[in-house]
Every structure is written in C-alpha cells, then in structure tokens.
Structure 1
Amino acid sequence: MTTDSTLLNSEMELEQQEDLYQQLLSQTVGSLQAENPDSKVVRPQPGICVKTVSEKDKQKVFVNICQSNLVPPPPELSKEELVELLQSEDPSGYRVPMSLGEPHAEVDNNSQGCTAYDVVINQEFFQKCQGEALFQQFVIMVSLEGLENKYKLMLSREWKVLKNRKFLGSVSEQNIRTKSKPVIEELQPQETSSPIAKRPEFTLFVEPPAGVPEYLIAEIKLPGVVSSRSLVLDVGEDRLVLTARPSLYHLDIFHSFVVDQDMSVAQYNSSTQVLTITLPLVSS
C-alpha cells in the first residue's frame, strides 16, 4: 500500500507532531455526569434515518429520528384524529414532545459531505409510529418543522426513509433538561470545554477520492493556536473530539466510517495554523 508522504509530513514540525500524537486517544471526553440537577444524561436508541435536502442549496440533510423513554409521550391520538390533523392547514398544532440536537457534519456513502440532525421522541410513541405508516409520516413532518423553526432552515418534503440504515454517524450521549417540560426540549451535547469555546472550521475527505477509500482526512483550521501543546485530541472509531485550551476551540464530530485508532496520526502546521488528522479506515 502506498501513501502520499506529502499529505502526512509536508511542512510539519516534527517536535509538535510527536507532542500531539502522544495525546491521541486521551480521555478528554469521558462519560461525564451532568452537574445540573435539572437535567439527565441520555443516550437515545437509533430509530429511523430520513434523507432530504435543504431547499436553499440542495445539500443533502439526514435526520436521525431516535427514541428514549426519558422524553415524555405526546397526548393520545387516534388514527381518525391523525387523518383529520394531516388534512388540516397546521398539523404541527398537535404537540409532540421531542428533543432537537445540534447539527453535525457527516460523510455519506458516496464520500460526500452532508449535515445530520438528531431528533429524539418518546420510545413507546416511536414504536407506535413504526406500526402505522400515517403516524410515521406525521412524526417526520413534525420533526422537519421543528428543525426548520429552530435552525431557520427550509427542508424539502420529498424525503426518503433509508431502509438499511437506522442513523447516519453515531448517536451520542447528551444532556436533556427535565425541570421544565416545554413542547420541544433541547438536547445539548456534553462538552468538556467552556461554553465560550468556538467551533472551528473543518473539512473531511477521503483518500483516494475514487475507488475504495483507505484514509479519512480531517483538516481543521485553528487561527490563533501557536503550538500543538495547547491541543487535546481524542480519536474514537467513528468520532473526533478536539479541544484547544484554554477554551479557545471545541469540536465534537461523528463520521460514518470505522477507523484504526492506533494507527491514526495528527500533525499541526504552526505556520498555516491547520491541524491535519490522518485516519486509516478499517475495511469491512
């Protein structure tokens, strides 16, 4: 197997590379318990994955509709009432408690970048929706409307439920507020950094670009970071977590590949202030 040596070593400072590599696989993001007594930690179960596109730029969007018994159930709704609701001008008038997660960048099966969102609904209600096509259609519609309202999006209603995939990326452990019960409760990803930490710009791509991919490459722009000594990186099989101390940047992303954690390499170019992470892929 041949690799592009310029991709791994070009213009990189060897000492900084060694320092950062020692921090790979560190326990930066552990299983943290919520300090807020009004919240609970929840890892929702996968449910269905819905594929659609944004109306503005026609970019692919995936909605992971997940399930958890910590999300309260909606009011009882008969099939007859649902039919009337779907025929009304505002089907979202029936309130379905759900949690809307933050967008996360992913790579689809064609190695193209896309955006995914996690929506969590009550587990029993989700199972009911699986048995009734109308209920599933209704939940998808309400989920899309909830994401549109929260993130100022316009999503196509020509969506498709993926048959062989329950989610895109990986479902992460998150915090859910439990003290008050608004119609839509927000899920906030657990982070080790301060809330003032910024999310840096980044790019994910595979090498080679054609054929069977061998590497997943992440390029992360970190303006203002003068040395790799301030960076803490955690590499999981399908997750990257990066923190630039003190509370300068924080990035927590999932991807749809399985990587070899032990063979992964990270290099920081202090002149361009770009971190390059090379992740060998595990063949399925």
Structure 2
Amino acid sequence: MTSFIALANSAGIACSSDTDHTIFQLSKTEPLAIAVNSSSPIPWDDIVDSIKSNGSFASKENFTEYIKAFESMIADYKFKIDLKKLSDEEAAVVFMGYGNSDIFPTVCKARLVFENDCCKIAILSTEQITHDNQASITTIGNFENLATILYGSTKETDAFLIKKQEEAYNKFKKRVFEKFRDTEAEESMTKRFNEFDINDAGIQYMSETRRQYMEDNIKIGLDSFSVEELVYSVEKLVNANVRLSHLLTNSQGLPGSTREIAVVTRAEGLTWCLHSLYAL
C-alpha cells in the first residue's frame, strides 16, 4: 500500500510518497498536480497520459473547476476493473493546487466511482487554506502507525477507551438499579435508563473531537512552516511510517523509504525535490 502525505499552509504544498508514479504534474502552465495510490489496480499512468494527450488544462478561476475538468476528461475511460470493489484508499486521488483567483492552495481528496456508465469523481474531503484554516494534512494509505503524532491517539486506543467508558457506565447503571430496587423510583429510573443511549450521549463524539483537537493544534504549528520545513516534514513522516510498518509486520529485507517529493506553489507550480526517473 502506498504511503503518501501532503502538508499544506499559506506558503504552498509539500507532498511525499514511498512509491514511484504516485505524484503527477497535470499542467506545465497551471499550479496543478494529483497524487494517487500507485499500488492500486487502477492504471494511473495510462489515465494521466490520456489526459495529457487531450491538451493542457485551461486556466480556471476556482480550483474545484480543475476537478470538474479532470472528471470530464476521464468520463469515457474504459476501465477493465470494477471500481466498486475498491476501497476509498485504493481508488484515491488527491488534487493539489491553486485556482487562478486563489491566494492560498487547496488539497482535495477524492475517489473514482463508476455511475451511469461514466467515471466520476466523488469528493471525500476538501482542505482549502484560508486565514481561518491555516494548514492541512492529507494522506493516502494507512498512517495509523503515526496516529499518535498526527491525531493524538490510534483508532485502537480510541476503541479501547470507548469500551472502558461503556463498562463504567454499565457499572454505574447497575449500582443505581440496586439502590432504587423495590422503591417508588424504580419504574422511573428504569424508564430513564432505557431512553438513554450511551453512544448518542457522545462517547464516539468525544473520541472524534479529541482527534480533531490534536490535529488543529498541529495545524497551528504547521502554519508557521516554510516550504523547506514542509518538505523536511513530509519526507520524515513517510520514512517513519514505512519503517514502522516494516517493523510491526515483521517484514523481511530492508524497509523502503521516500521515493518522490514535490512542492506545489502559486508562482512555480509543481517542482520536484526527489524523483527516481529524474535522478533527483
């Protein structure tokens, strides 16, 4: 599985991947690029070549217009695989860049879907950098090994805490029932507890909020990063994720490392920092 991460702030976007043919420049004149899961069965090299053969992207005022143009270019592409059988990560595509009227960048994660005999783009998340949203973190692949760094806890930890909170609630409920058994309040207590849903009460919400709180704090720090610091960060994060995955799965041989690094800025578009084919 490809490990790809993009960090964005007002200075631009830095992205990195542990596999080749993950990051693609879509235009030589517009600040526009995509990243894909190169480990998926989707023939991305062929798709990108077919798009480029149709000509360059015309300048668009809003970044979302580039996504619509991309969708129209691949609408009639003949896939030999069933896109419905692919997960969001396997069918993922991340759009990165600027619209003509944009001061700050946008990173949009989407996936390919097949509807009404046409290939379409289904948006999963959009992170537009603004004065209120100063930075963003977007990934392709499994980054749970770094979840404590990026989000404050892993999904396994969240699930464990939710289970413990449910157990504590059930113990409390049992004690209340024992206290009011065979009293006038027993019927009222039973009704109240039956109406109360522990999940609706916010356990899952608390877990998601904690992750969002941690990510928001990280974004505050990322806002001050220069492009060079963003590049350093994406390289180290991908390397750490790949090596931890290698270690935790008891894989043989040497672990992989970062294979592609690119920067997307308003002034220069996509610039390669590391690319195996370009001997960088």
| Higher strand proportion (structure 1 or 2) | 1
| Higher helix proportion (structure 1 or 2) | 2
Q: Report which of the two structures shows the higher radius of gyration computed on alpha carbons.
A: 2
TM-score, length-scaled by structure 2? 0.25
- With CA pairs under 8 Å and 6+ residues apart, which has the higher RCO, 1 or 2? 2
